[in-house]
Amino acid sequence: MSIVQSSVSTPSTVRSSPSLSCGAAHPVVASYTISSTSNSFLLRSSSLKTVTSVSSSKNSKRKSAVGKVRSSLETAGATVGQVTEVTKDTFWPIVNAAGDKTVVLDMYTQWCGPCKIIAPKYQELSEKYLDVVFLKLDCNQENKPLAKELGIRVVPTFKILKHNKIVKEVTGAKFDDLVAAIDTVRSS
């Protein structure tokens, strides 16, 4: 009886459970190790922490999971419960990975006084609304193309997105208006 081992790296898709709030498919890239004998093989996924055993003699399949599956939002670089700094290169991949979640973008500059005042309150919102993705974009020269694409006129400007589209905007450091806009989009 010989044992054959190989490594395969393939993209797969994990669909969340219907009982969870996000029903979207999340692409996950996994590295698999396959061990086989003449009548069975083991499929080990290092990144998904799963082992699948298939036996051809009994025609049975057994699967056990260890650890947690990382969502595409996490692999894109955003962390729930925190404000994530984005750039012109990372913004759209994170928004796309957010799926059905509400995304709030704080567009600020380093020299803006009102931006500095509202920043701690914005951080508190990210800790309160765990079903919302909070991002911030420094509207410097490097990120100017994205700022222009998003139509920024003043700082701070908060863009609220749902399904990859801007649905609300709050200009200025108006905390109560921002909270009301987030609540409106979350409930829609």
Rounded to 10 deg, the angle between the 113-128 and 175-187 helix axes is 40
How many CB atoms are located within 10 Å of the residue 133 CB?
A: 26
Sheet strands side by side (includes 132-138): 83-86, 132-138, 102-108, 157-162, 165-171
SS3 labels along 125-138: HHHHCCCEEEEEEE
Residue 170: C-alpha distances to residues 5, 117, 152, 167 (Å): 56, 16, 11, 11
Give the span between the Cα atoms of 87 and 12, in whole angstroms: 27
Q: Residue 115 catalytic? A: yes
Record the tokens describing residue 25, joined without a space.
């498919």
Provide CB contacts within 8 A for 87, sequence distance 6+: 137, 142, 143, 146
Catalytic residue among 86, 94, 107, 115: 115
Among this protein's residues, is 112 annotated catalytic?
A: yes
112, 167, 179, 185: the active-site residue: 112
Pairing of strands 132-138, 165-171: unpaired
Instruction: Give the residue numbers marked as catalytic.
Output: 112, 115
